[in-house]
């Protein structure tokens, strides 16, 4: 029996593509992407989903201005797709305790830094890389972790370091970290899918 995965996105969807590629290569184990949920109607990730025949839905602030209504719509979409596992792949919002509680230990997120450094509320996207460079860190990296009611506070599943190079810009550091994200996210998703299958 496959573990049904819903992927939440907000932007270009390169991590979604890494998951799709891993699935096609048989590297997600029994994990199967069954749905993509986007917080933005213009997210390129939606085109990636369409190209690969994956159903998608937009649940954004235009349709659901209130956080509670938006999270209720997300939970309904997850349940309608018989979701077993949720992956946040560049999803730029915080899920409510109701969603987290419904999928306890079955939601993973990829974060572009070495948690517990450079994480928490407001530390996302380029803000992370800018802070790393401002602090003159010698290394950065990416972390895949379980999502709990905090922000970037759940159990770490996987982490990989990358060097910060002399002359790095936000863009060059982001690109180096993203390469690592594309590697460790599918591996962690495959691992968690196997864990979920054993207890299902």
Phi (first) and psi of residue 105, to 5 degrees: 65, 15
Q: Answer yes or no: are the C-beta atoms of 6 and 34 closer than 8 Å.
A: yes
Residue 136 token pair: 């003159």
Per-residue burial over 123-162, b if 16 or more Cβ lie within 10 Å, else e, is: bbeeebbebbbeeebeebbbbbbbbbeebbebeebbbbeb
Active site (annotated) includes residue 111: yes
Specify the DSSP class assigned to residue 113: S
User: Annotated catalytic residue: which of 111, 129, 145, 182?
Assistant: 111
Q: Which residues are catalytic?
A: 111
């Amino acid at each position: 029996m496959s573990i049904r995965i819903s992927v939440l996105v907000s932007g270009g969807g390169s991590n979604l593509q890494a998951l799709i590629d891993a699935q096609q290569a048989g590297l997600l184990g029994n994990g199967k992407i069954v749905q993509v949920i986007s917080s933005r109607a213009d997210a390129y990730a939606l085109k990636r989903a369409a190209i690969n025949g994956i159903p998608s839905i937009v649940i954004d602030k235009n349709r659901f201005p209130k956080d509670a209504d938006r999270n209720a719509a997300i939970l309904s979409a997850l349940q309608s797709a018989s979701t077993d596992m949720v992956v946040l792949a560049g999803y730029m919002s915080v899920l409510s305790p109701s969603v987290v509680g419904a999928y306890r230990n079955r939601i993973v997120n990829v974060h572009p830094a070495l948690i517990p450094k450079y994480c928490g509320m407001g530390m996302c996207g380029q803000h992370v890389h800018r802070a790393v460079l401002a602090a003159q860190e010698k290394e950065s990296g990416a972390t895949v972790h379980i999502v709990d009611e905090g922000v970037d506070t759940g159990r770490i599943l996987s982490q990989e370091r990358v060097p910060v190079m002399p002359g790095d810009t936000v863009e060059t550091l982001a690109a180096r970290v993203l390469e690592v994200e594309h590697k460790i996210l599918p591996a962690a998703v495959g691992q968690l899918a196997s864990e979920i299958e054993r207890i299902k």
